[in-house]
Structure 1
Amino acid sequence: MSLADLTATELLENYRKRSLSPVEVIEDVLQRVEQLEPHLCATYALDPDAARAAARDSEARWLAGTAGALDGVPATVKENIATRGTPVPQGTAATELVPALEDAPAAARLRAAGAVIFSKTTMPEYGMLSSGVSTFHHLTRNPWDLSKTPGGSSAGAGAAAAAGYGPIHLGTDIGGSIRLPAGWCGLVGLKPTHGRIAVGNPYPGRAIGPMTRSAADAALTLTVLSGYDPRDHTSYPPPPANIPRTPESALRPGLRVALLLDAGLGLPVGPEVTAAVTALAAAFEKAGAVVEPIPPIINRAMLDGLDRFWRIRSAADIAALPEERRAKVLPQIRDWVSTAAELTGFDVFHGYSQMGAMAAAVTAVFTRYDVILSPVAPITAFPAELAYPTDDPAKPFEHIAFTVPYNMSAHPATTVNVGWSATGLPIGAQLAVPHHQDLTALALAEYAESALAVQRPWPAGPGQ
């Protein structure tokens, strides 16, 4: 196995034993990037020289006995998570490229823990697409099948993790932007309880979380990144340490699992997706959980209301741009916001209210159940060139009905790979749990990794 494919927990154990050096590891990762990046286009602001210098510093800390919790572990950060000295284009050519003055809280915590941040990762236009389509970045592709999207908006993070660009990748999520690419790339992707990881520029629904190849790495990263930061008024101290952290403690007999196989709206769920998620439900049931099917949680009024609110918000942002920059915005995004002027104040207020309606609907389910198990998405990865799976800017959110409710309700939700399509594409399941039970969700994902044992060898080359 290449050093680039080792998990964070494996790397740290080897560093402790001095059987590996961060200097060796970052060289292997950079070689992997050099090999695959022409095909994947997952990175932004790649900085090999700074990475090598950071790895040498980490090696010195390990020798001195002063290493941090993630010391020497290669990591990437999505481009909209600010890092000092690097512009934040937000996936669009319409943005002025002004270097960020400081690290955002999550990036700062990674550095403080000794992680080697060697690159940013790509995102689509304004983060409003579940694909890698961008007017600023090259088109990002899925390592499992180069004709497919890795998902979005954490497109580069998903592709980088599946391709073995090191073990830890940070994404952001406002409607599924961590979980969708994680599901379509065969990863564990956690949207944490809102406020668990400080965002720095908070907005309703927005969260930052890890995307990794294993639940253990996601839990380790979450633990390091958790905590209050004064730049984010929605953040708070880490939760108590008595949260279940192992599969045995999380999957207790009598665990109440709600099985949601039909979102009630949007794209129909494919039979391969249903079968893969049902297999995990059966594994939980065999282990002593009580699994019960539930009806859809949200309705069309909620999703359409959310669309109207986000449409007017994006239209306002784009309208504020000078005309020459406005013309650079992706045509599909301009088409999507073109109807915003037709919306009334009532439409916008009602749309905003649907965020609360979603939150109430999710919270009601958790009065009866401990876990909500569902698909991450109704379909497997779609063609890379499409901005939306519907290929229709008028219907951009028909694939997020399983993911977006937890952004509005602030509940943690994680993905885990549970199967494969006939064409070899990953199929993800989503595990949502009550507030502050993030580690429980990851422990259940770790159980799924072991119980289903569906993981295939990671892509070793373009589309393989």
Structure 2
Amino acid sequence: MYDTCTTGSPAELSAACLVERYRSGALSPVEVVRSVLERIEAWEPALHATYAMSADAALAEARASEARWRDHAPLGLLDGVPVTVKENIASKGVPSPLGSAATDLVPATQDAPPMARLREAGAILVTKTTMPDFGLLAASPSSFHPLTRNPWDPSKTPGGSSSGAAAAAAAGYGPLHVGTDIGGSIRIPAGFCGVFGLKPSWGRVPHLPPYFFRVTGPITRDVADAATMMQVMSLPDDRDYMSLPFQPVAWSDLAHASLKGLRLGLLLDPGSGLCLDPEVEAAVTSAARTFEAHGADVELVENWIEPAMRDGFSTFMHIRAAVDLEDLAPEQQARLHPQLREALLKQPAIGGKAFYRAYQNVLAMRQRTAQVTGRFNFVLSPVSPVPAFAAESWCANPESGLMYDIAYTCVHNVSEQPAAAINCGYTQAGLPIGLQIAGRRFDDIGVLRLARAWELMRPAQHAWPKPPA
């Protein structure tokens, strides 16, 4: 397990450790923000994970936080803790380009709910983070942002669409990062970058604009920091008319009573004709065997998603993308990332009946997922069939023509179940391998607790990557 409280750099300390040191006076928010800014300066020429960074504003907030701690009057749970936020989550005064040069840059008039809750808790926004065009890729190519790269190997992708958030977490741009997920956009980057990412139950974290399948969640280096973020971000906001009723959750209680008798499903077959990389399979299988050795009952599960269900989801997402992009003026469409524009143009026109059948298949996917996973307390699987691929590529297999090649992750968006990505090993080349832990609907704390149990059991982790010399 990573030690998040003894590293020499304040930029790499956990949020819990920072708050402890602020309280004792051993460290100042100003020192921490300066350390994070130095880390960003060292990494950014290679990573390109940031957008709209304002060092002056962050330092001003840090000085205000320093004064509050000196007066023993912190604003909230995260006073003085640096945070990065994905650029599609509005922060007042900052445009949200949605990763695309096709977007008009209009400053946001208000903070979106996650940003508002973090500010109220005293967190310091250091920078926004990058994403691909309209969040439509599980990779990082963008027509607006420079190409974001993976800190473990800059020739590889950090994944998408929360590309910059996961890269920032692995590179040590402070402890807390916020992403969004509509088909795997938190979990895939977290898995590729060796960090922890939680896709909460749909509606658990209020969001604007609300949308089916989309959630906001934390990306961190450890499970405890993600739990603290959930305690803050899950607070209610009436602007999200699709959010769940607020429910107090014991987010800070991550102790798992026992693994003995816990029923775990193990899904290895990605379906849809995809092949599972042998190194990924070995790492995930080894993790399952570790749970089994600690008393859990592990049962191999066959892929339950029929081709029609997967095609229905892909069709639904393609239509969503096509409608959004058709609303753009011709000159805006011309500024889209060329690969994305080409992929969308290749899609055949789909009529109303075909769309309705696609939606019926999405509902069938939801029903089948709930039925199969409901037999278990949790389901384990890879996050991705493959490790991180080339940074310039827009998917693992561009020749396939699949934009939504998200075999293990999208089912849990459709079913609204919580699911997390956590590192479970490395390839021979040193790339992280992500383990997905999916829980029953609304059991977000259960997923966090099992992830914490794995964090304590897993083999020693590699040292975090360091900035180029």
Q: Which residue of 2 aligns with 1:459?
A: 465
Compared CA separation, residues 242 and 28, structure 1 to 2 (3 A): closer
Compare 373-382 and 352-361 and name the one that shifted more: 352-361
Compared CA separation, residues 37 and 266, structure 1 to 2 (3 A): farther
1:393 deviates by: 7.2
Q: Which residue of 2 aligns with 1:195?
A: 203
Equivalent of residue 100 in structure 1, options 108, 114, 130: 108
Paired with 2:205 and 2:248, the residues of 1 have a C-alpha distance of 15
Q: Which residue of 1 aligns with 2:83?
A: 75
Equivalent of residue 88 in structure 1, options 86, 90, 96: 96
1:263 deviates by: 2.2
Paired with 1:301 and 1:334, the residues of 2 have a C-alpha distance of 25
1:349 deviates by: 1.2
Compared CA separation, residues 392 and 104, structure 1 to 2 (3 A): farther
Q: Which residue of 2 aligns with 1:271?
A: 278
Compared CA separation, residues 240 and 102, structure 1 to 2 (3 A): closer
Asked whether the equivalents of residues 191 and 435 of structure 2 are also in contact (C-alpha less than 8 Å), the reply is: yes
**Percent identical across equivalent pairs?**
49
1:16-35 Cα distance to aligned partner (Å, 9 max, x none) = 11111101000000000011
1:363 deviates by: 0.8
Paired with 1:23 and 1:404, the residues of 2 have a C-alpha distance of 40
SS of 2:404's partner is coil
Q: Which residue of 2 aligns with 1:4?
A: 11
1:198 deviates by: 0.4
For structure 1, list consecutive stretches of 5 or more residues without a partner in the other structure. Answer: none
Asked whether the equivalents of residues 26 and 52 of structure 1 are also in contact (C-alpha less than 8 Å), the reply is: yes
Is 1:396 aligned with 2:439? no
Q: Normalising by structure 1, what TM-score?
A: 0.97
Is 1:127 aligned with 2:127? no
Q: Which residue of 1 aligns with 2:390?
A: 383
Q: Which residue of 1 aligns with 2:4?
A: none
Please list, as runs of the form range in 1=range in 2, the aligned pairs for 1:278-427 lying within 5 A after superposition: 278-392=285-399, 394-398=401-405, 400-427=406-433
Paired with 1:166 and 1:241, the residues of 2 have a C-alpha distance of 25
2:276 alignment partner AA: V
1:344-378 Cα distance to aligned partner (Å, 9 max, x none) = 22221122222212211121123311000000000
Equivalent of residue 39 in structure 1, options 46, 52, 67: 46
Paired with 1:241 and 1:132, the residues of 2 have a C-alpha distance of 34
Paired with 1:257 and 1:393, the residues of 2 have a C-alpha distance of 32
Two-structure CA RMSD over aligned residues (Å): 1.5
SS of 1:38's partner is helix
Asked whether the equivalents of residues 46 and 120 of structure 1 are also in contact (C-alpha less than 8 Å), the reply is: yes
1:125-165 Cα distance to aligned partner (Å, 9 max, x none) = 11001111001000000000010000000000011000000
Is 1:445 aligned with 2:454? no
Paired with 1:172 and 1:446, the residues of 2 have a C-alpha distance of 21
Is 1:260 aligned with 2:250? no
Q: Which residue of 1 aligns with 2:61?
A: 54
Compare 62-71 and 400-409 and name the one that shifted more: 62-71
Q: Which residue of 1 aligns with 2:155?
A: 147
1:342 deviates by: 2.4
Q: Which residue of 2 aligns with 1:170?
A: 178
1:96 deviates by: 0.4
Q: Normalising by structure 2, what TM-score?
A: 0.95
1:434 alignment partner AA: R
Compared CA separation, residues 240 and 106, structure 1 to 2 (3 A): closer
Q: Which residue of 2 aligns with 1:227?
A: 235
Compared CA separation, residues 296 and 127, structure 1 to 2 (3 A): same
Q: Which residue of 1 aligns with 2:5?
A: none
Paired with 2:400 and 2:134, the residues of 1 have a C-alpha distance of 14
Paired with 1:188 and 1:231, the residues of 2 have a C-alpha distance of 28
Paired with 1:242 and 1:323, the residues of 2 have a C-alpha distance of 50
For structure 2, list consecutive stretches of 5 or more residues without a partner in the other structure. Answer: 1-7
SS of 1:342's partner is coil
Paired with 2:233 and 2:72, the residues of 1 have a C-alpha distance of 22
Paired with 1:325 and 1:135, the residues of 2 have a C-alpha distance of 11
1:106 deviates by: 0.1
1:454 deviates by: 3.3
Give the total of aligned pairs: 461
Asked whether the equivalents of residues 419 and 454 of structure 1 are also in contact (C-alpha less than 8 Å), the reply is: no
Paired with 1:430 and 1:209, the residues of 2 have a C-alpha distance of 15
1:267-312 Cα distance to aligned partner (Å, 9 max, x none) = 3111111111111111111111111111102122111111112112
Asked whether the equivalents of residues 170 and 193 of structure 2 are also in contact (C-alpha less than 8 Å), the reply is: yes
Asked whether the equivalents of residues 148 and 381 of structure 1 are also in contact (C-alpha less than 8 Å), the reply is: yes
Compared CA separation, residues 217 and 242, structure 1 to 2 (3 A): closer
Is 1:246 aligned with 2:246? no
